[in-house]
């Protein structure tokens, strides 16, 4: 994919945010004006909007009560772990290490299948292999960004701001009732 050579990464991120409806007004305007000037930006925006439409068309499912209870217990356990220094060490170093290992495994598997098919069936030109590798790297980068944004939104916005305060308030209320206060 040669889009990245013509369209910078920040603009691609903005296009994705606009397509999924997560962009602020400034990004929406920026992408709109770029799409008027550049047909490649317009086409890329159309493709991402189409993908976003497919993603948004999935039905949301109700979360079973046992899963909610399990999540509440997990939040309480995480709060306890945050107090320990070892949690910070693990949080800082375990995730990047896991991500690096997972990326290496994916690249190895993809490379294995490319070379295996190359030797068995068809010979690919070096340009095709380079193009495929570039596409895989871009795809993995996009997936990685989505996972990072999702993780950040889940931990910072949802768990810390929406789940933890009501749970803490509930526990404080129960504690006050049990202590007679």
Domain final residue pick, 60, 83, 98: 60
User: Torsion-angle region of residue 168: left (phi > 0), alpha (psi -120 to 50) or beta?
Assistant: alpha
> The whole model's pTM is what?
0.34
CA distance 179 to 181: 6
**Distance of alpha carbon 83 from alpha carbon 86, whole angstroms:** 9
Q: Are residues 42 and 69 in the same domain?
A: no
* Shared domain check, 81 and 54: no
Number of domain units in the chain: 2
pLDDT at 96: 61
The boundaries of the domain holding residue 24 are 1-60
Q: Is 54 left (phi over 0), alpha (psi -120 to 50) or beta?
A: alpha
Same domain, 125 and 36: no
Q: What's CA 50's distance to the chain center, in Å?
A: 18
Residues 158-172: pLDDT tens digits? 778 777 888 888 888
Of 98-102, 119-123, 140-144, minimum mean pLDDT range: 119-123
pLDDT > 60? residue 120: no
Q: Do 96 and 146 belong together in one domain?
A: yes
pLDDT at 86 over 80: no
The number of angstroms, rounded, from the C-alpha of 20 to the middle of its chain's C-alpha atoms is 13
């Amino acid at each position: 994919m040669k889009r990245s050579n013509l369209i910078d990464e920040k603009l691609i991120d903005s296009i994705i945010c606009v397509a999924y409806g997560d962009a602020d007004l400034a990004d929406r305007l920026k992408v709109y004006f770029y799409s008027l000037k550049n047909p490649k930006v317009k086409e890329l925006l159309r493709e991402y909007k189409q993908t976003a439409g497919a993603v948004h068309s999935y039905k949301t499912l109700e979360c079973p009560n046992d899963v909610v209870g399990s999540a509440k217990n997990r939040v309480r356990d995480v709060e306890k772990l945050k107090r320990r220094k070892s949690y910070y060490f693990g949080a800082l170093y375990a995730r990047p290490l896991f991500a690096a290992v997972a990326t290496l495994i994916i690249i190895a598997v993809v490379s294995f299948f490319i070379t295996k098919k190359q030797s068995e069936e068809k010979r690919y030109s070096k340009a095709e292999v380079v193009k495929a590798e570039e596409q895989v790297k871009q795809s993995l980068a996009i997936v990685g960004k989505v996972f990072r944004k999702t993780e950040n939104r889940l931990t910072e916005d949802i768990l810390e701001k929406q789940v933890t305060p009501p749970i803490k308030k509930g526990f404080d209320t129960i504690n006050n009732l049990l202590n007679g206060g």
